[in-house]
Amino acid sequence: MRRVMWAAEPEAIPMHVVRPVRESDLGALIALAGATGGGLTTLPPDGEFLDDRIHESLRAFSPRVRKPGGEYYLFVLEDTTTGDVVGTSGIASRVGGFEPFYSYEIRRERYVHRPLRIEKEIATLHLKEAHRGPSEVCSLFLRADRRRDGHGRLLSIARFHFIGAFRRRFTEMLIAELRGYVDQTGRSPFWEAVGRPFFEFDFYRADVLSGLGEKEFIADLMPDHPIYIPLLPPEVQAVIGRVHHDTEPALALLRAEGFSATDEVDIFDAGPLVRADVASLRTVRLAQTAVVREIRGEPPAERGHLLANGRLDFRACLGAVERVRDGVAITAQEAAALEVRIGDPVTFSPLA
């Protein structure tokens, strides 16, 4: 760990930092996975799986990685005052591979009968299987008591800083599969109408099995033929492409970053799949890198920037930068969070 040098250590104020997951985070990760309430496929509440996921992430951060090969990067949000891990977010460098990536593609089929002057377009769901897909941002979850003060934005956008710093590790296309709608009782209308008749078990078991990589049941049991959306009950049609109420802020943030809708939805809860070109992401476009020239003791009046150290031992936080001479000034607290010192580069982008 790099030592941070300053003349006098200021009084600590609350700070949260995004960093790569560690082996010691397993207990906290299990607790977070248990608090998701299901529906987060890449973070199932299984201790053995999560332990494997941590080690998979540790391997992903190896400097030997040169191109996207299905690596999985897992980050956590740490409260630096208490040391508590209060959230997670991840990046899959490429979906598919040995474990295929499944989705429903919405296609519109045209039917015409000219003698009766009937012309109709019918929306249908087609099972899609991808073995060499794009990069995906995933595993975003923030503990309910921390959903304020920009922590969710930090946890989400920090991933774009990492992708921007290490472009060769990811594809040019980035997707996000968002959690679909469930009612107040935790029931998924889409699953009940489309999934349960084929699987004979509940939505959460299917979701956990998929998260654990046991996807053979999807290929064996999912219908090969298209599903005609107008034949589904109106309340089911209404939730196709609709997000879970807890996921609405995440969708708004992704849209602000440049993500747009696709014709694909999740196979279990019909949550939307959105996508963006990495080069067009707002954070990637606006990110700047400068050398730290001053470290100041006073806290920032307003944390209007997201700062990152741009290294493989990645760290990001909310803060403020001030241009000075041929570099920037940051606070001692930000320097400690990022593990940088005078002479080191930092990358930053505006939050608003």
Identify whether the C-beta of residue 119 lies closer than 8 Å to the C-beta of residue 112: yes
Q: Distances from the Cα of 125 to the Cαs of 237, 240, 322, in angstroms?
A: 11, 10, 51
16, 161, 244, 305: the active-site residue: 244
Domain with residues 16-284, CATH architecture: 3-Layer(aba) Sandwich (3.40)
pLDDT of res. 11: 45
Exposure string of 71-108, with b = 16+ CB inside 10 Å and e = fewer, is bbbbbbbbbbeeeebbbbbbbbbbbbeeebbbbbebee
pLDDT of res. 212: 55
pLDDT of res. 79: 95
pLDDT of res. 210: 63
Domain with residues 287-352, CATH architecture: Beta Barrel (2.40)
**Residue partners of 92: CB distance under 8 A and separation at least 6:** 42, 70, 71, 72, 73, 135, 136, 138
For strands 288-296 and 327-331, give the pairing.
parallel
270: left (phi over 0), alpha (psi -120 to 50) or beta: left
Alpha-carbon distance of 62 to 116, in angstroms, equals 65
Q: Euclidean distance between the first and final Cα of the chain, in Å?
A: 32
The residues with which 345 forms a beta bridge, in sequence order, are 291
pLDDT of res. 140: 92
244 tagged catalytic = yes
pTM equals 0.88
Alpha-carbon distance of 300 to 321, in angstroms, equals 9
| Phi and psi at residue 196, to the nearest 5° | -55, -40
| Tens-level pLDDT at each residue, the chain (352 residues) | 444 434 344 444 579 999 999 999 999 999 998 887 665 777 888 899 899 999 999 999 999 999 999 999 999 999 999 999 999 999 999 998 777 888 999 999 998 888 888 889 999 999 998 888 999 999 999 998 898 889 999 999 999 999 999 999 999 999 999 999 999 888 899 999 998 888 776 666 666 666 555 666 676 777 778 999 999 999 999 999 999 988 899 999 999 999 999 999 999 899 999 999 999 999 999 999 999 999 998 776 678 899 999 999 999 999 999 999 899 999 999 999 999 999 999 999 998 7
pLDDT of res. 1: 40
Of residues 13, 9, 20, the one with CA closest to residue 319: 13
DSSP codes joined into one string, 215-274: -HHHHHHS-SS-EEGGGS-HHHHTTTTPBPGGGHHHHHHHHHHT-EEEEEE-TTT--EEE
The residues with which 227 forms a beta bridge, in sequence order, are 125
| Phi and psi at residue 104, to the nearest 5° | -100, 125
pLDDT of res. 154: 96
Burial of 328 (0-12, 13-18, 19+ CB in 10 A): buried
pLDDT of res. 196: 85
Spans of all domains in the chain: 16-284, 287-352
DSSP codes joined into one string, 303-315: --EEEE--SSS--
